[in-house]
Structure 1
Amino acid sequence: MHDNHIHSKFSADSHMEAEEACKRAVEIGLSGLVFTDHVDYDFPDFDESFLIDYNEYFSFFHELKARWKSKLDILIGVEMGYQPQVIDEIENTLNSYSFDFVINSVHIIEHKDPYTGDYFIGKTQEQAYERYLQEILCSVNAYDNYDVIGHIGYAARYGNYKDKPIRYKDYSDIIDEILKAVIEKGKGIELNTSGLRGDLGCTIPGYDVFKRYFELGGEIITIGSDSHYTEHLGHSFNEALEYMANIGFKQVAHFEKRKPVFEKI
């Protein structure tokens, strides 16, 4: 198994040393790590710390890859934060560098951040979740230069609600639109295990969404821990794989040079 979504010190919100991540990955039996550090153009209260020098980035990870090649597969990815006004910047970066893997993620909606709580002000839970899902649908259709849609349900981690998860039954129409568009475009979705580490209590998205994805004919799934700390690498992967197998999925994937490589469950 590869952990397909992790953050090193190149992400402004992470302090994880890449070398330590590699040591931990080998200890727990992972076969590969995909470093997907954040790029969020025009982030609220934006400053230069949100950007990455990609010449330095690729140089660093190529050296890391060479050092670990006999023990661990190191792949170079990016988690690209979608906002409609930054599509040109996104495309320019993705067309300028040879990433193995691109996650298309929505972190900011209406230039407001769920993490700080600003996004939820003046909205009911239903309004907040519906608008968030609409933005994911926009991101799916806005461009094609990505491989999977990241953590569908991310915003639910930060709402001050008693019952947090975004459930398929409550938003089935728009979730169906998202999943059908993903499948039609030949893209995939991410199973993000970070929700199992907090009070959300489920993967992101939940298994009910993956059940529907399977029913609609979806095939491409990557599994990622969204780790910012070494102790979270590979978190709950066995549980996630068991659920995917129970739904009916036969394989999961990682990406190399933007092409899916399938691994039997």
Structure 2
Amino acid sequence: MHDNHIHSKFSTDSHMDAEEACKKAVETGLKGLVFTDHVDYDFPDFDESFLIDYNEYFSFFSKLKDKWASKLEVLIGVEMGFQPHVVDKINNIVNQFDFDFVINSVHIIEHKDPYNGTFFVGKTQQQAYERYLQEILCSVNAYDNYDIIGHIGYVARYGNFQDKPLRYKDYSDIIDEILKAVIEKGKGIELNTSGLRSDLGCTIPGYDVVKRYFELGGEVITVGSDSHFAEHLGHSFCEAFEHLKSIGFKHVVHFEKRKPVFEKI
């Protein structure tokens, strides 16, 4: 299968060499890699390092794609960090370049970063998670120039709470709103395995949310490791595919030229 969510050195928080990633992917038995490096406009303490030179980006990955064509499918994606006031900038870039795949992710809420804890100050766990989900719902409806919603439940990785996971039963109303809006718009969600490498101990979103997505009629689902290191490529994919099959999914998806390609599990 494809690993649909990985970060190379083009992302400021990653040191993964793209060439090394390709070597590791072939060794691991992956069919393809989708490089989805970060772009977060107006990040807290923003500087130009949070942006990408897309001419350089496409030149680099086009050459890599050609080099590995006989062994591995290399696809060019991007992970766009949503904030309501940067939608025009996101659309401008996505319209200019021929990405295979665009992830719409919420990393920053109220111009505060869950990663460093500032977002959680003055909020209970319930308040923090609900506010985060509200921002995801906003992102789903704010524009259409994306393919899937990234890592629903990302916020749970960083809260200093004893019981971290964001569970469907605790936020069912707003999660249903999100999933129904995703399905109505013809978009998808991802199953992100990075949480299994952390003290969160579950995928993002959890299988309970994925099950509800399936029950509501959702069919478009990608699987990604969110790797920033080559050794994490394809992490826990066998487990993820087994869970998806047990839920009822018969296919997973990757995108080529912004079109979904369904692969039988």
Normalization by structure 1: what TM-score?
1.00
Describe the superposition over 1:2-45 as per-residue Cα deviations: whole angstroms up to 9, x where unpaired.
00000000001000000000000000000000000000000000
Percent identity reads: 83
Structure-2 separation of matches of 1:150 and 1:108: 13
SS at match of 1:111: coil
> Offset at 1:108?
0.1
For 1:7, the equivalent position in structure 2 comes to 7
Describe the superposition over 1:31-86 as per-residue Cα deviations: whole angstroms up to 9, x where unpaired.
00000000000000000100000000000000000000000000000000000010
For 1:177, the equivalent position in structure 2 comes to 177
For 2:61, the equivalent position in structure 1 comes to 61
Residue type at the aligned position of 1:7? H
For 2:254, the equivalent position in structure 1 comes to 254
For 1:138, the equivalent position in structure 2 comes to 138
Describe the superposition over 1:166-204 as per-residue Cα deviations: whole angstroms up to 9, x where unpaired.
000000000000000000000000000000001001000
For 1:47, the equivalent position in structure 2 comes to 47
Describe the superposition over 1:187-224 as per-residue Cα deviations: whole angstroms up to 9, x where unpaired.
00000000000100100000000110011000000000
> Offset at 1:251?
0.3
Residue type at the aligned position of 2:160? N
- For structure 1, the residue ranges without an aligned partner over 5 or more in a row are none
For 2:217, the equivalent position in structure 1 comes to 217
Residue type at the aligned position of 2:11? S
For 2:159, the equivalent position in structure 1 comes to 159
> Offset at 1:229?
0.1
The answer to whether the aligner puts 1:189 opposite 2:150 as a matched pair is: no
Please give the residue correspondences for 1:81-160 in structure 2 after superposition, counting only pairs within 5 Å. 81-160=81-160
Structure-2 separation of matches of 1:159 and 1:261: 35
Runs of 4+ with deviation above 2 angstroms:
none
SS at match of 1:253: strand
Please provide the CA RMSD for this pair.
0.3
> Offset at 1:111?
0.1
Structure-2 separation of matches of 1:98 and 1:152: 25
